Chains A and B, each alone.
Chain A
């Protein structure tokens, strides 16, 4: 059914799945931050800091917005927005309130015609072929947009009729209701539903017609954490059939582990876009390890050790940027040999939250320009300048390993050549399964 519709729309557009703007897009965006969009990414890729070279052949984009601008009176809702939604992926659009996320969704379905720019959804212009685009989209808005005076079944029936589902309408309604856990309440008035049930009903309605593109605008808005998790789980399930999803949210925790592709918006424009892993790598090219010790001032000796690319210490411990995560056992051994009693050694996995705030920090610190221009000039994020070397008093370490000769700022017992990176120490223990990918991610 989906394929048939796709063909129909493609034929109507005369493009047969082509993405008219993709060439221009790929060329222009390749110079910026839109990298690795076609690489299959799983939730675990959030921890992957491997450098993934951008693919030369971009995957088919179901949605392409280029140079979109739109005003509401004097308010500029969208300003030169570029957005590319890869097919079969979950694209999470992150941004604060007022960033233009909702307006972008409205533009995608053709519910709103932008003042300027190019829109292609399924290769079609929603302005002139909205009736071919909208039947292939399922939308859940921040407010569930349900008819309170009707029952859940009536709401679904209304949608089914508008989407012209005839023969198996009742079966689809029952299946969708069961799938989203609202079967028992289906014949009750929606006005009596809880917010969570309304969201579930809205989700059920959005998939009733088996759309190719799902657009969720802050679907967990107003839900308690438990309901939010349930809704996110449902969204995750919905994508297993290869559906393309665009989810707008300002809650970073929601995007974590869900996003295959991330777009960060602010002020009506896209700041950065790419897969989480690639963006993380873009901003943190080197692995970071969080360390702490009973006396964490003693950790400062690491800052000049070979392979340590950056070092920052605060009361909660030190964040050490290393050229290769495989150095970690040697670093630990060196510290222990120096008598440092470590209380924490944790390879840091940058999260979307880290990424989001890092980008925003850089932007707010960039006085030259704002928005995307600044984003395009973003530098890899460092763990920060090295603090001045404190005067460290000798620490009694009754249970520490014997201090080897040559302590202080040098790594005393481990002979690590400066370059190239040292051979992998075989003594590195097998990391926990969850950490496996993160550790491998450090391999250059």
Chain B
């Protein structure tokens, strides 16, 4: 007997509710978010502050000059953009703008991967997948909710870290290069246009893994294999877009990344099934 098909509506509110509940659990787990904060602090505050303070306040100009020599590897456009009168100031400027770009990539990808890897398989391990499987929430709503809940911790950490980093850079290096200069146009592009699609692309793959594997540990192991190459690619591309000095190139890089991410997300929706939430998928 054939059954009439009833199209399943997508309820945005349900998607937010799934995301909100995941985030609420995350916030209540200090053991989970403390390492995130520590990672953000390390990459956005501790390391830049220590390095930039050393460069701008170091007594020996020889050290700064040696480091300054490394700026020669930068393309002419990037070298031309470097500001500062002294070698130390120029080096600090170059490091602030170019060296720490990968940091902005590593932090969100690492944090979001850690959250995303546990999100679906975690439901299964805790038995709450049974509740979701019997609930009215569609698998698309669940998938998108989980995705948002995984993106937000990494991206929020990155945005907050980026703001903190901007203040530190301007306070430490600004006086030597003629005032506040950070963030540059290329950094805005990277933070708002290039990193998000890389983050989504990574998470679309991680969520697929999380839906398929049998344990959180296995999900984290496997997601490490996926995220490492993606971090490397994002690192290279982000650095290139900054160093290249052309924001148009960065724009197109971001556009392509968005398209790939959208395709990957679309395909990833199918990875979440009720059978997988129940842990009985074959």
A residues apposed to B, CB below 8 Å: 12-14, 20-21, 71-73, 106, 109-113, 118, 124-125, 127-132, 134-135, 137, 139, 141, 143-150, 154, 158-159, 161-164, 189, 205, 215
Contact = CB atoms under 8 A, between A and B. Distances in A.
B6 A12 contact: yes
Interface string B246-282: 0000000000000000000000000000110110101
7 contacts: A106-B134, A128-B5, A131-B9, A131-B138, A134-B135, A145-B131, A163-B136
B278 A112 contact: yes
Given A106-B133, A161-B14, A147 B21 contact: yes
Given A112-B274, A148-B126, A127 B3 contact: yes
A154 B26 CA distance: 13
Given A145-B128, A147-B21, A161-B14, A109 B5 contact: no
Nearest to B11: A164
B70 to A, nearest CB: 48
Contacts of A145: 126-131
Nearest to B28: A149
A150 B23 CA distance: 11
A330 to B, nearest CB: 57
A189 B27 CA distance: 13
Given A111-B134, A159-B135, A150 B8 contact: no
A190 to B, nearest CB: 11
Interface centre among A109, A145, A146, A150 (most CB of B within 10 A): A145
B29 A149 contact: yes
A148 B128 CA distance: 10
Nearest to B21: A158
Chain B, interface size category, equals 35 or more
Contacts of B24: 150, 154
A111 B137 contact: no
A164 B25 contact: no
Contact of B128 (A110, A112, A146, A215): A146
Contacts of B6: 12, 124, 128-129, 131-132
A163 B137 CA distance: 8
B191 interface: no
Contacts of A144: 127
B17 interface: yes
Interface in B5-36: 5-6, 8-9, 11, 13-14, 17-18, 21, 24-25, 28-29
A161 B18 CA distance: 9
Interface in B135-183: 135-138
A103 B56 CA distance: 68
A128 B1 CA distance: 13
A149 B18 CA distance: 15
Contacts of A113: 275
A147 B282 contact: no
What 5 pairs across the A-B complex have the smallest Cβ distances? A125-B3, A145-B131, A111-B133, A161-B17, A139-B134
Given A106-B133, A162-B135, A13 B4 contact: yes
A150 B29 CA distance: 10
A118 B1 contact: yes
B134 A72 contact: no
A13 B127 CA distance: 32
Contacts of B21: 147, 150, 154, 158
A12 B5 CA distance: 9
A205 B128 CA distance: 13
Contact of B3 (A112, A129, A147): A129
A72 B280 contact: yes
A47 B58 CA distance: 95
Contacts of A148: 126
Contacts of A154: 21, 24
Given A149-B25, A162-B14, 19 more contacts: A12-B6, A20-B1, A72-B280, A112-B275, A128-B3, A129-B4, A131-B8, A131-B9, A137-B134, A141-B131, A141-B134, A143-B130, A145-B126, A145-B127, A145-B130, A146-B131, A149-B29, A162-B137, A164-B136
B282 A72 contact: yes
A285 to B, nearest CB: 38
Contacts of B9: 131
Contacts of B129: 145
A144 B131 CA distance: 9
Contacts of B282: 71-73
Contacts of A134: 134-136
